[in-house]
Amino acid sequence: MEKLVIIPTFNEKENIEKIIGAVFLLQQHYHILVIDDGSPDGTAAIVKSLFTKYPGQLFIVERTGKQGLGTAYIHGFRWALQNGYQFIFEMDADFSHNPTDLEKLYEVCKKGADIAVGSRYVKGGSVVNWPADRILLSKGASLYTRLITWMPIMDPTAGFVCYRREVLEAINLSAIHFLGYAFQIEMKFAAWKLNFLIAEVPISFQDRKLGESKMNKGIIKEGVIGVLKLRWMSLFKNYRSNVKNIYQEDAASFQPKEVIMEQK
């Protein structure tokens, strides 16, 4: 199998079974890795109850306690590299990202992009049902990021992404520090600094219908300061060489600390 969809979860019991089912219904075949941070609502138990229905296609990493989206994805990226996947996707559990758009992202990478970003803010992209204050925050964050970093990406906080394996191998994942939106910005910034080809693919982003957003003030603060830090590091601290995975040993030396429940 060449394609892995990583889905981070914290309290997604209303969505998780449906989103897994929707991915496995797609024409293209994908594997799914759920990274659950000890959701008190029993999300992980639901995933494990589906193992017999989807043998060898569905995996879970269970971490203890909420540790943030960024570290969840870093964990998933290392797992994906160790297990030989060629195309690695980020997708939310809450149907904000339409699973059928996975195919679009894949096609764009297949045609030569190193990263395909599901983008709300390019021609053809849209946001549906998000409250005005969330749209303002998101658009403001995009503009702010572009002004400070000069990174030519219209939707830098996007969390619906396909990475070619080579991108994740080239980035020193240990040097990626941020947890929330800043994590999404930093991954794109690192890839851009390493000269990878980033394509934005228009998507329609929908507000979640079930469950609650985990957005909070800390995530916004990290984003505001994080973007400034990225710019600072790239101007004065040789960000590019810090973020480059020179020895390509990041994945090979990775020893998961958390309990891993998975099926082969």
Ligand X SMILES: Nc1nc2c(ncn2[C@@H]2O[C@H](COP(=O)(O)OP(=O)(O)O)[C@@H](O)[C@H]2O)c(=O)[nH]1
Residue 35 lies near ligand X (rule: CB under 6 A): yes
Nearer to ligand X, 94 or 222 (CB): 94
Nearer to Mg ion, 87 or 181 (CB): 181
Q: Which residues of 46-78 are buried (b: 16+ CB within 10 A; e: fewer)?
A: bbbebbeebeebbbbbbbeeebbbbbbbbbbbb
Nearer to ligand X, 213 or 242 (CB): 213
The partner in contact with residue 48, picked from Mg ion, ligand X, none with C-beta cut-offs of 5 to 8 angstroms by kind, is none
Q: Which residue is nearest to ligand X (CB)?
A: 213
Query: What minimum distance in Å lies between the beta carbon of 49 and ligand X?
Result: 18
> Which of these ranges, 91-99, 101-109, 239-247, 253-261, lies near ligand X under the rule CB under 6 A?
91-99
Query: What minimum distance in Å lies between the beta carbon of 205 and Mg ion?
Result: 9
Nearer to Mg ion, 8 or 226 (CB): 8
What SS3 class is residue 240? helix
What distance in Å separates the CA atoms of residue 98 and residue 206, rounded to the nearest whole number?
8
Residue 216 lies near ligand X (rule: CB under 6 A): no
- 113 Cβ neighbours under 8 A, 6+ residues apart: 164, 197, 198, 199
What distance in Å separates the CA atoms of residue 79 and residue 61, rounded to the nearest whole number?
9
What SS3 class is residue 41? coil
Residue 215 lies near ligand X (rule: CB under 6 A): yes
Query: What minimum distance in Å lies between the beta carbon of 93 and ligand X?
Result: 3
Residue 9 lies near ligand X (rule: CB under 6 A): yes
Residue 154 lies near ligand X (rule: CB under 6 A): no
What distance in Å separates the CA atoms of residue 196 and residue 213, rounded to the nearest whole number?
31
- Binding residues (CB under 5 A) for Mg ion: these are 92, 94, 96, 208
130 neighbors 75 (Cβ within 8 angstroms): no
